[in-house]
Homo-oligomer: A and B are copies of this chain.
């Protein structure tokens, strides 16, 4: 490999100092009152030779890496994959690159990953935190590192975050069902106390309460195999014969639920209406199409990056911690439209 050109080589070649070149390359020629002639000459030479400064050296001396650490629950999940795509695009537009990792919602793994990212001096963090990460997030903030939590937040930590309005989204979805005259609405959620789940549950409960309806809730253990989840679902459906609608707290649960309903020979929506939280491509092609609470992922990504960039561009390291709550869209499809049949 042809040895890469360094700033020193250029300095020698052009018989000027590294300092001058560095100033010119960093757009400080004017500020440092370097002659236009010299500036031109250096810029021309650099363009000709295709010189690119070594970012490692630059980072070591400035302390900035221009890298954002993106820690999502699982990059392969539809929601996080979309998020990653949008975040990447916006970050690159601002000159930042993305180092990513999946936490698998595992506390110890996440701690390890934060430590790795710190060793690499990433400039800022976008994190979907697993339960129990409060102290670690606080530690990042205390150390003056820009952090934006995403998808969920901690009530006890004063951090920036960008989340969906899970409570209202869930409330609206259930309200829609009650308006459609469904009376026995089951809720199927993950066994998790993270904010996003809690808010979804509370929205459901609130909407039922307003109509004097009785809650029926199934909590599916987090780390269940698909088979076990299926069994839980089937039991739940069979034990609540009077149910006429099911609200699933995640799209994954909805997939399993729809399969379970199929096995039990339930017709959707005649025998059971279905709404899923978190939209998915597949909901639009399935027959019947599935009504879903859609998260505006591009919007969530945009707000996350903007919030982070604001912190990165701030002079102080005591950041204003911004809380951003984004409304969801209820996308009505066939799985709730009994009357259209």
**A residues whose Cβ falls under 8 Å from a Cβ of B:** 1-2, 52-57, 59-60, 65, 67, 74-78, 81-82, 84-85, 88-89, 92, 97-102, 115-116, 118-121, 142-145, 255, 258-259, 262, 280-282, 285-287, 317
Partner of A282, one of B55, B120, B281: B281
Q: How far is the CA of A119 from the CA of B88 in the complex (A)?
A: 18
Partner of A97, one of B101, B102, B258, B286: B101
The chain B residue sitting closest to A142, CB to CB, is: B1
A-B contact pairs, 10 of them (CB 8 A): A1-B144, A1-B145, A57-B60, A67-B99, A75-B84, A75-B85, A78-B81, A81-B84, A97-B116, A280-B282
Distance of A27 from chain B, by nearest CB (Å): 17
Distance of A319 from chain B, by nearest CB (Å): 13
Distance of A13 from chain B, by nearest CB (Å): 20
Partner of A255, one of B56, B75, B115, B281: B281
Using A100-B98, A101-B97, A119-B54 as known contacts, say yes or no to A285 and B286 having CB atoms under 8 A apart.
Answer: yes
Partner of A287, one of B76, B92, B100, B286: B286
For A88, list chain B residues within 8 Å (CB).
75, 100-102
Evaluate contact between B119 and A52: CB separation under 8 angstroms. yes
For A259, list chain B residues within 8 Å (CB).
285
For A53, list chain B residues within 8 Å (CB).
119
Q: How far is the CA of A115 from the CA of B282 in the complex (A)?
A: 37
Distance of A220 from chain B, by nearest CB (Å): 17
For A65, list chain B residues within 8 Å (CB).
56
Distance of A120 from chain B, by nearest CB (Å): 5
Partner of A59, one of B56, B92, B99: B56
Q: How far is the CA of A84 from the CA of B282 in the complex (A)?
A: 21
Q: How far is the CA of A100 from the CA of B60 in the complex (A)?
A: 22
14 additional contacts (CB under 8 A) given A2-B143, A88-B100 = A1-B144, A1-B145, A1-B317, A52-B115, A54-B60, A54-B121, A56-B65, A75-B75, A84-B84, A89-B102, A255-B281, A281-B282, A282-B282, A286-B287
Evaluate contact between B282 and A285: CB separation under 8 angstroms. yes
Distance of A226 from chain B, by nearest CB (Å): 11
The chain B residue sitting closest to A112, CB to CB, is: B92
Evaluate contact between A85 and B74: CB separation under 8 angstroms. yes
Evaluate contact between A85 and B92: CB separation under 8 angstroms. no
Evaluate contact between A121 and B56: CB separation under 8 angstroms. yes
Partner of A55, one of B52, B78, B120: B120
For A99, list chain B residues within 8 Å (CB).
67, 97-99
Q: How far is the CA of A171 from the CA of B97 in the complex (A)?
A: 41
Distance of A11 from chain B, by nearest CB (Å): 19
For A84, list chain B residues within 8 Å (CB).
75-76, 81, 84, 100
Using A97-B101, A285-B258, A287-B286 as known contacts, say yes or no to A82 and B92 having CB atoms under 8 A apart.
Answer: no
